[in-house]
Structure 1
Amino acid sequence: MIKEEIKKALSNANLSGALTRFSEAYAVSRRKAYEGLDFEGIREKIANIKSYVADHLQELIQTFIKSATENGAKIFYTKSPEEVRNYIIELAKKNNVKSIVKSKSMATEEIHLNKYLKEQGIEVNETDLGEWIIQLAGQRPSHMVLPAIHLTRYDVSDVFTKKVEPVQPDIAQMVKFARKHLRRKFLSADMGITGANIAIAETGTLVLFTNEGNARLTMLLPKIHVAVVGVEKLVAKLEDIFSIIRALPRSATAQLITSYISFVNKPEIHIDGSQKEFHIILFDNNRTNIARDPVFKQSLQCIRCASCLNVCPVFRIIGGHVFGKVYTGGIGTILTAWTEGLKASKDIQGLCIQCGNCVKVCPGKINIPELILEIRKRLSKEEGLDFKTKAIYSVVNNRKLFHSILRTASKLQKPFEKGGFIRHLPFFLSELTTERSLPAIADVPFRDRFKKIEQPKSQKKAIFFAGCLIDFAYPEIGEALVKLLNSAQIEVLFPQEQTCCGAPARYSGVMDVAANNSKQNIEALLSVEADYVVSACPTCTVALKNQFIKDLKEQDYDEKIIKSAEHLSEKVIDASELIYRLVKEGKIQFKKLSKIDFTYHDPCHLIRSLNISQQPRESLINAGLKLIEMFESDTCCGMGGSYSLKFPEISGTILRRKLENIQKTEAKLVCTDCPGCVMQIRGGVDKEGLQIEVKHSLEVLAERIK
């Protein structure tokens, strides 16, 4: 079913166009909005404030209940969505409520409140413009902040024309039209329902952010105001709100400040002079369980800005109706797993490509990709693996068998291979070569070629961890690294017992296989002494440096092997960083050759997990090349390891955008520092028949050394 939804979304040009235009504009506007501010400092404060809430949630709930009660509000605290709905329905019946107006509230979306109110014969009208459009269209929001972002003005005009009355697809006219119709709803409503962005425990105050002023009318005009507030919106004290006020509008819509910020303390006086009723429903629905979970409690640091959606390369091509449920995108996947149950996230969790783009913009410092990996681990543990997956990972788990199969495949591929590429595959495999050509497996893997390389003997030594792609598909990258290190008088060692870094298993949640790969590699790489352990694949570098330790700890390996993993980690360095240092120190020097233009693609793990970006560029410039930066150089190419095999249609769509950005530079050489990115981009270039070379930076540098 998810495959059908993806195909439908990808065929909707209006959807991808609207989301892409917004994403591009958002990136520029967000940078301007944060100019002069210390974003890292702001988000560190928010993370600390919200982390404190998670650690003291029950205490803060009770403090808020006491403070708000003293202010005159009627408080109802419940863990059950059903009890929230029943409370509101009973309150409505008791007060003969016929019509309700609502301002934007994700908490009420979460419990499907509108559906239940309608079943009771109560009229419900959303008053946020986007929410009203979605309500009329009979859809659910596709974005947590911009619920109708997937609709064009022509779509909106059609909705208004069919459901209300004819109106032209002119934005100013439609806004005026909506204002006129909603004003009547405000004036006739018996009850107003809002959410809240922040709830201050010490003062019992609710804080609401809006751009249209509809929340104020919802609170002030009807005789009854009900606020449905998730307990994660709590902060301890008044001063805690200021960092959130700075970050929320800038991160959500790239505004310096939202149009309206409302502070609600106590029941207001109605316009007829009577005392209004003010009810606050504090709503749990598993939030306290999240707070107790040592891994997932960081998700409570979310301030619902949806900036993670705005920068997600997957979200912007398939939207929230595919990538999400009530809550959308990466953070929505995590919230779905807790509010609707782990199994509810099964299909959508796989849509995360693990590029990490969301991590750098999250004002709550939530590591969304890491939490999605945790969902995969728990799903794998809870549901087990199907026969096909078990078979694949039993092979990966056996180094000799795995390598034997790759060697055999290099012979069997001959009918499909031409010029180093496999351009067409038969039957059910054909989809894998629709958007890109695949690399042929090398006739002679790097591990065999290495044995024949003559090297200078040196005191300085580096162990090379090749990873699967360099070892069996791109051995020339490994040869380039050896040549560069040898020129700096560093001898390269290659332990033959090394195997897959475990990434395929790790990113699929199959942790016993990942941990076994980690153990095998630690033993192999520490079997010889060296100054460095070098990888030319950032995914492998991250595994060697960080993941091996985590894998072994999670699988309860003994302390001795964990200590070995920590010792190995201290020696690990990415090839791009080491070569940069050697060039800067003058230990690697280049010939004076004619300058050629190149553009650079930043691999996701290199720029985000390892914080390496300028170093490979500077090495290439030092070698006499001229850099032409491409648009969105740091946006994922769509590879994502096995992601491109699971979702080739998404991977291919992301790749096409990358190729367009490359072509716009007019450079005839693309450099990158990840063999996976080489595979993706080079395969796309070949498929499109473009006259562009795609090379690992090490290959280009090795061609130019003295």
Structure 2
Amino acid sequence: MADKQFKKKIGDALGNNVLRGALGRFGDAYTTAREKAYEGYDFKAISENIERVKSYAASHLDEMLDQFEREATTRGAKVYRATTGEDAKQYILELAKSQSVKRVVKSKSMASEEILLNKTLLAEGMDVQETDLGEWIVQLAGQHPSHMVLPAIHMTKEEVADTFTNHLNRLNEPEISELVKTARVELRKKFLEADMGISGANIAVAETGTLIMMTNEGNARLTATLPPVHVYLVGIEKIVPKFEDAGHIIQALPKSATGQKITSYVSMVTGQTPAYYPDGTVKDKEFHIILMDNGRRKMYEDEKFKKTFQCIRCASCLNVCPAFQLVGGHVYGHIYTGGIGTILTNFLNSEKDAQNPQNLCLQCGKCSEVCPGKLDIPEMILEIRNRMGEKQGLPFTQKFALDVVSNRRLFHSLLRTASIAQKPFSKGQPVIRHLPMFLSGLTEKKSLPTVAKVPFRDVFKTIKQDVKKRKGTIALYAGCLIDFVYPKIGEGMIVALNEKGYEVVFPDGQSCCGAPATYMGDRKNARKCAIMNIEALEAEKVDYVVTACPTCTHALIDSFQELLQDDPALVARAEELSRKSRDFSKLLFDLGGLKIGGDGEPLKVTYHDSCHLKRKRGVSAEPRKLLSDTLGVQLIEMNESDRCCGFAGSYSIKFPELSGPIMERKLGNIEATGADAVVVDCPGCLMQISGGLDKRNPGIKVIHTAELLLEKRKKAPKKNKK
């Protein structure tokens, strides 16, 4: 659970309208720019090449490092392998002292930020100057970078002008071209006076000992060429086997980082170059390369995190993250920010520093969709969360709630009780619009649905199924929300599947899929839920297991096997369940859909893509076809249809201050379509969006695909008037 100080950081960031505006504008512009930059390129093929090259280098790491050192040394470099950040800092410090270094210029290096190198050098009385424009701005402002590629993205031109004015003691107007000109003038003399240059690198080529930098300002070239001593500080994950392998990263990095086809400068340094001294002397440059571990091997050797070596540090995961776009990088606390930053912080700094930031992840999966290194960042963050839960335990209230949820009889009896106890708050309405006292925040931005008077498991017993030409049997897995909040969704599923020739059974012993426990870091209770449902569903006896909740689908197909991997008998049953489990819309589409027919009444609808359905299951076109082809409704696509609605299970309770703005953006996109209804395939999204629209625009209906099919097809068609 996030602590109070962390919550305060979030509150301060949300209250900073300048920050929100800067991040929002960039986020909106980035998506379009990235799409345009990748036009004509096969992103999937590029990503697969990066995965191949980087995974090979990582799995042959010592061989690659030996080859790089051999080739670089042959060409005049002095290569040092630093096990820790302290080793790296000590090497640079001793080198600086031996060369009587007083003035240092640095081009952009997140590795140097990672180990707080500037602080060490400044403490020894050296003048250390950042020369990347963003890094220089941040340095003058007394801050650290808020973004791996765009260090000063959180600052406006007015703030930059004020920073320059305070530092230079002369007025600077907030004109970008003038601010850049000022920086160029001020920094040029720093290059000429410097005794040492320090750089990072984007790529290290083992085959030739070459270091490659991609920049837009030319400062990296000046840093590498003008000072008589030059040091490259490079993380060992930057290694690639061959020179031609670098091309894949050069293709992807600028497009993914800033939406450029290519950066202004691609600099390649292979070996020692001459150094020109003010007195006219020319001699070979002191050229040093530090290959730094600092926790990277530990990260790679962990089976769950080895793919982090495929990260090319483009920061596209930050650029599309709904949480990052709201609060920026400084809330994350350490040097590396966003989703990948949380993982890096956990290994390269400390688990303690990653504890609060990992909570910011919505698990929406958008980052993985755009990652050119093919990293499943949400799954890695989830693993960190679960490990922390196992090591430290959860707060009492969370643990108690999850213990209740994993106890089927107790959980269900409490839900039945809640259907009666909620009456004073619902006042006869199907929603709760106001809650008292400390619970009032839950209904500030949205209403909440009431618990159904009769749960689906009871409704099911009264349904007479009409199955013609029976083809088989399907077990319906309802999950918590369909069972106890939205039973009509279950009714719609049965009618549709009956029409396809399948009898539907409802195993009574089923309960929560365990997703709340999984996403809150309680693997023990998630495992209990997995076992309970495997035993209840008896997948061996049916043709399919169907659910209309994508989070539940993900649990049935993916999570149960992992949770039970230490028990061969249960794993076998989990695999059988996984093979037979389907999301409702996907199954119905694969079975050939339904006969065309509806009530004939015109209806304009827009469709919201659930994060789990689209990105975990790859289902997006199928429900749209069911709506337009089967019911004949007018489908109007909304902007950002697959952007998270902000529900994310317990996230909306833990971080209502973040969930709210994310939801508001979704509601705005829905309203802009002019649709009569928004259709969803996730009960959680249904709860979030309908709750928000109930407060903001109750005229727009929110409905699940299964329920809309039921509603439109059960009504008798209207007769034409003569």
Please report the TM-score for the alignment, with normalisation by the length of structure 2: 0.95
Deviates more, 1:450-459 or 1:74-83: 450-459
The alignment yields a C-alpha RMSD, in angstroms, of 1.4
1:489 is displaced (CA, Å) by: 3.1
Matched, 1:228 2:233: yes
- Counterpart of 1:127 (choices 126, 131, 134) is 131
Residue in 2 that maps onto 1:168: 173
Task: Give per-residue Cα distances to partners, 1:245-302, cap 9 Å, x unaligned.
Answer: 1111111111111111111111211233222111111111011112211111111110
Corresponding residue SS for 2:646: coil
CA distance in 2, matches of 1:374, 1:527: 28
1:530 is displaced (CA, Å) by: 2.2
1:589 is displaced (CA, Å) by: 3.5
1:151 is displaced (CA, Å) by: 0.8
1:328 is displaced (CA, Å) by: 0.6
Corresponding residue SS for 2:504: strand
Matched, 1:48 2:52: yes
Corresponding residue SS for 1:350: helix
Residues 406, 77 of structure 1: alpha-carbon distance in 2 compared, 3 angstrom cutoff: same
CA distance in 1, matches of 2:659, 2:558: 26
Corresponding residue pairs, total: 701
Task: Give per-residue Cα distances to partners, 1:352-379, cap 9 Å, x unaligned.
Answer: 0000001111111000001001101111
Kindly report structure 1 stretches of 4+ aligned residues shifted beyond 4 Å.
none
- Counterpart of 1:460 (choices 472, 480, 491) is 472
CA distance in 2, matches of 1:589, 1:255: 46
Residue in 2 that maps onto 1:568: 577
Matched, 1:652 2:660: yes
Residue in 2 that maps onto 1:244: 249
1:324 is displaced (CA, Å) by: 5.0
Residue in 1 that maps onto 2:596: 589
1:235 is displaced (CA, Å) by: 1.0
CA distance in 2, matches of 1:612, 1:602: 9
- Counterpart of 1:154 (choices 152, 158, 178) is 158
Deviates more, 1:385-394 or 1:95-104: 385-394
- Counterpart of 2:147 (choices 143, 150, 153) is 143
- Counterpart of 2:411 (choices 392, 402, 412) is 402
Corresponding residue SS for 1:663: helix
1:40 is displaced (CA, Å) by: 0.8
Aligned residue identity for 1:355: C
1:497 is displaced (CA, Å) by: 0.3
Task: Give per-residue Cα distances to partners, 1:438-469, cap 9 Å, x unaligned.
Answer: 11111111111111111125442211100001
Matched, 1:526 2:538: yes
- What runs of 5+ residues in structure 2 fail to find an aligned partner? 715-722
CA distance in 2, matches of 1:422, 1:446: 20
- Counterpart of 1:391 (choices 400, 416, 438) is 400
- Counterpart of 1:294 (choices 303, 324, 338) is 303
How do 1:432-581 and structure 2 match up within 5 A?
Answer: 432-457=442-467, 458-526=470-538, 529-553=541-565, 556-557=566-567, 559-581=568-590
Deviates more, 1:631-640 or 1:7-16: 7-16
Deviates more, 1:341-350 or 1:588-597: 588-597
Matched, 1:311 2:320: yes
CA distance in 2, matches of 1:68, 1:378: 40
CA distance in 2, matches of 1:324, 1:440: 39
Residue in 1 that maps onto 2:717: none
Task: Give per-residue Cα distances to partners, 1:282-341, cap 9 Å, x unaligned.
Answer: 111011112211111111110000011111111101111113520010000000000112
Aligned residue identity for 2:506: F
Residue in 2 that maps onto 1:13: 17
1:574 is displaced (CA, Å) by: 0.6
Task: Give per-residue Cα distances to partners, 1:392-441, cap 9 Å, x unaligned.
Answer: 12111211011111111111111111421112222222222222111111
CA distance in 1, matches of 2:390, 2:596: 51
Residue in 2 that maps onto 1:425: 435
1:67 is displaced (CA, Å) by: 1.4
CA distance in 1, matches of 2:333, 2:575: 37
Residue in 2 that maps onto 1:411: 420
Residue in 2 that maps onto 1:204: 209
Matched, 1:607 2:639: no
Corresponding residue SS for 2:35: helix
CA distance in 2, matches of 1:246, 1:572: 39
Aligned residues of 1:638 and 1:644 also touching (Cα < 8 A): yes
1:612 is displaced (CA, Å) by: 0.6
Corresponding residue SS for 2:520: coil
1:627 is displaced (CA, Å) by: 1.1
Aligned residues of 1:101 and 1:125 also touching (Cα < 8 A): yes
Matched, 1:360 2:365: no
1:158 is displaced (CA, Å) by: 1.1
Aligned residues of 1:655 and 1:681 also touching (Cα < 8 A): yes
1:588 is displaced (CA, Å) by: 3.6
1:207 is displaced (CA, Å) by: 0.7
Residues 515, 34 of structure 1: alpha-carbon distance in 2 compared, 3 angstrom cutoff: same
Residue in 2 that maps onto 1:636: 644
1:387 is displaced (CA, Å) by: 2.3
CA distance in 1, matches of 2:635, 2:399: 45
Aligned residue identity for 2:107: S
Aligned residues of 1:343 and 1:379 also touching (Cα < 8 A): no
1:238 is displaced (CA, Å) by: 1.2
Residue in 1 that maps onto 2:288: 279
Deviates more, 1:488-497 or 1:651-660: 488-497
- Counterpart of 2:221 (choices 199, 216, 219) is 216
Residue in 2 that maps onto 1:691: 699
Deviates more, 1:428-437 or 1:356-365: 428-437
Aligned residue identity for 1:218: T
Aligned residue identity for 1:591: G
CA distance in 2, matches of 1:572, 1:387: 34
Residue in 2 that maps onto 1:598: 605
Aligned residues of 1:397 and 1:513 also touching (Cα < 8 A): yes
Residues 375, 237 of structure 1: alpha-carbon distance in 2 compared, 3 angstrom cutoff: same
Aligned residue identity for 1:415: P
CA distance in 2, matches of 1:639, 1:393: 18
1:659 is displaced (CA, Å) by: 0.7
1:595 is displaced (CA, Å) by: 2.4
Residue in 1 that maps onto 2:89: 85
Residues 485, 81 of structure 1: alpha-carbon distance in 2 compared, 3 angstrom cutoff: same
Aligned residues of 1:19 and 1:149 also touching (Cα < 8 A): yes
Aligned residue identity for 1:425: L
CA distance in 2, matches of 1:640, 1:421: 20
Aligned residues of 1:231 and 1:283 also touching (Cα < 8 A): yes
1:579 is displaced (CA, Å) by: 2.4
Aligned residue identity for 1:704: K
Corresponding residue SS for 1:64: helix
Aligned residue identity for 1:605: H
Aligned residue identity for 1:236: P
Aligned residues of 2:256 and 2:316 also touching (Cα < 8 A): yes
Aligned residues of 1:142 and 1:150 also touching (Cα < 8 A): yes
1:527 is displaced (CA, Å) by: 7.0
Aligned residues of 1:484 and 1:588 also touching (Cα < 8 A): no
Task: Give per-residue Cα distances to partners, 1:120-163, cap 9 Å, x unaligned.
Answer: 11111110000000000111111100011111111111111112
- What runs of 5+ residues in structure 1 fail to find an aligned partner? none
Deviates more, 1:671-680 or 1:43-52: 43-52
Aligned residue identity for 2:667: L
Corresponding residue SS for 2:605: strand
Residue in 1 that maps onto 2:335: 326
Aligned residues of 2:539 and 2:576 also touching (Cα < 8 A): no
Aligned residues of 2:466 and 2:499 also touching (Cα < 8 A): no
Aligned residue identity for 2:289: I
